[in-house]
Amino acid sequence: MTEEREDAALPPEEELVLARRALDEGDLAHAARHLAAALAQAPTLPEVHETLTRIGAVSGGDLDLFPLGQRAFVGSVVARAHLLAAAGRPAEGLDLLVAATGHAPGVDWAGVPWVTAPELARRLDPDRTARILMQVCAAVPDPAPRALRGPGRPYLTLARHAVAAHPRHGLLLGAASALARRLGEVTLAVTWASRGVRAEPSKLGEVWLGYAYRSAGRTRDALAALERAIGHDPDDLAVYADIAGTLADTGRLDQAIEWADRALARDPDFDCAVHTAHRLRFLRDGDVAHLVALADFVRDHPDDSHEHGDLAESCRSRPWLGQVTPAAGVLVDVLRSALAADGTPGRAIRLDALEPPSAMRTVAAAVPGLDVEVAGVADPDPREPRRASTCQLWRYDGTTAAPTLPVPSSAAVERVRQLAHPAWPHPPAAYDAAVGLATVELADLLGLLVHPPEAPPTALGRVLAGQDPSLWVRCVQVWACLGLLHHRTDEPWAGSTRRRVLVELVWGVEDWITEAALFALVSAAWVDPEVRADVAQVVAERLADAVTVARVRPVPIVISLAHLALATPALDPAATALAHGIVGAGPAGAPRPGALARLWARLAALLRRP
């Protein structure tokens, strides 16, 4: 189904004028075409339906005027649905309306009198109505966001009339309960599901009742219902996973994992149980190995029965697992504070120690003319690479850094501006998304690291530029390094250009680029078990080096390096313990409340605004 015709649609009022003109001229095909365009934009407008009724009367209800096909226009699908209903075939019409709802759930396709009329529910077979309601449920999240509840109301009215007409039909009551729950009618959902179980006890009925109780906050009743469902069918392992998830939601992780393990004992490859078990084990002990194992399972089982969000849920908002970690340091803190207060820093800043070159250049670009005085350069000299390298990105004139590389091509700049983002579902997803940079030349990818372009003129770009310009720079650097992972992938890892360049960046001048390159290596380890030992060694050595240096001078990137270590597959226990000690935030490694966490919360809130 598609939302667009081959030609651009006019406003619905103009489409109606053309439809009526074509109808008056006897050109039914063009009349139907313009009517469908108007209906797609204004599905409940009375004038649209009046014109459709005229077309139906003149054509004798010719359904071929609104054809279905592999890429049927949604307006034609909905028009056909209304003609079917007018021809006494409302069940078929409802099937098409539900298909339109699945395609665009935020549009009020069903908000028409024939759908909400009480007599429709009496005419329909209750089994058919139940299936229609279940199709609606498949199109609507649980719970539905506010924007989707209005378009779902006509279906709920249909459910009310159907339940009134068939008060003891268990399947109908359960399906109606599922829809009511999604639309926020939790009390009604419990009532209908309870009646359904009493009328026709079944596994599915108990599952619907358990979900309704869970939405109502009645956890004990929900668990009892779900356990009764298992009594009906001990082999339905999805219910075991539901029980585990419900227990986890109340903080009973040990019991939750026991239920997941019971399912896995029956089928070690049952996808719901595998996803749930790994997520819960990570919640319990914070060991990233559980998430890596889950990512491996997803990679090795591409044909799972349905999509799962456990990996993304576990990584969401966690440093480097699901988002760029905001930069640390005096300079960026001063800049953020000034932007938050709708001001700019003073014209001069004195630093006790030299900060990373990316930080110095980002603040200089954000506040032209700012005088930054550095009290001194402590040893080990932060202007020198930590190890010998052929990949020199910076040169220094005193304490002022300048790129050694030319600016990247305009094509590379445009590509990274399209891809760069501060968040991703999980490291494998970030790796996959960066394939869009696979054709960017190596010189351009390196140039992007030291010549980050301005943020794009999008809502995201404006938020990043206005709230924290450093975060956009870090986004560019992260995605450029992810792009390096896709450079010459035919080369074996050990001697590959991509590994050599990234490792040299890791050991180069202490900078935000160090973090970006290390994250790229960590992402490679997530997607390729063969490189894990190598990457884990690089991460452990780089973290240990940063800790050694931090004993004698400030190292602004050290906390971020610790978070990267905690995201690294197969990291040795000593390095893991060292990283936990640096982060000091409990075993799960969640970000602590503070300036950086508040910054990310402000950014997320701004991005959610319409």
pLDDT digits (tens, 9 = 90+) for 275-331: 999 999 999 999 999 999 999 999 998 876 567 899 999 999 999 999 999 999 998
Read off the pLDDT of residues 50-101 as tens digits, 9 standing for 90 and up. 999 999 999 999 999 999 987 899 999 999 999 999 999 999 999 999 999 9
Q: Could you say which DSSP state residue 386 is in? A: S
Is the peptide bond preceding residue 380 cis, with omega within 30 degrees of 0? yes
Confidence at residue 600, expressed as pLDDT on a 0 to 100 scale: 56
Instruction: Evaluate the CA torsion angle 31, 33, 35, 38 in order and state its sign.
Output: negative
Nearest to 110 by CA among 20, 204, 102: 102
Q: Predicted confidence band at 604 (pLDDT cuts at 50, 70, 90)?
A: low
Please give the radius of gyration of the chain, using alpha carbons only, rounded to the nearest integer. 30
Least confident of 4-8, 185-189, 248-252, 322-326: 4-8
Confidence at residue 464, expressed as pLDDT on a 0 to 100 scale: 82
User: Which segments of 267-405 does DSSP mark as H helices, in order?
Assistant: 271-285, 289-300, 310-315, 330-340, 357-366
Q: Give the predicted TM-score (pTM) of the model.
A: 0.83
Confidence at residue 370, expressed as pLDDT on a 0 to 100 scale: 83
Of 596 and 277, the one with more pLDDT: 277
Read off the pLDDT of residues 352-402 as tens digits, 9 standing for 90 and up. 999 999 999 999 888 888 888 999 899 999 999 999 888 899 999 999 999
Indicate whether 610 pLDDT > 70: no
Read off the pLDDT of residues 390-431 as tens digits, 9 standing for 90 and up. 889 999 999 999 999 999 999 999 999 999 999 999 999 999
Q: Are 57 and 66 in contact (CB under 8 A)?
A: no
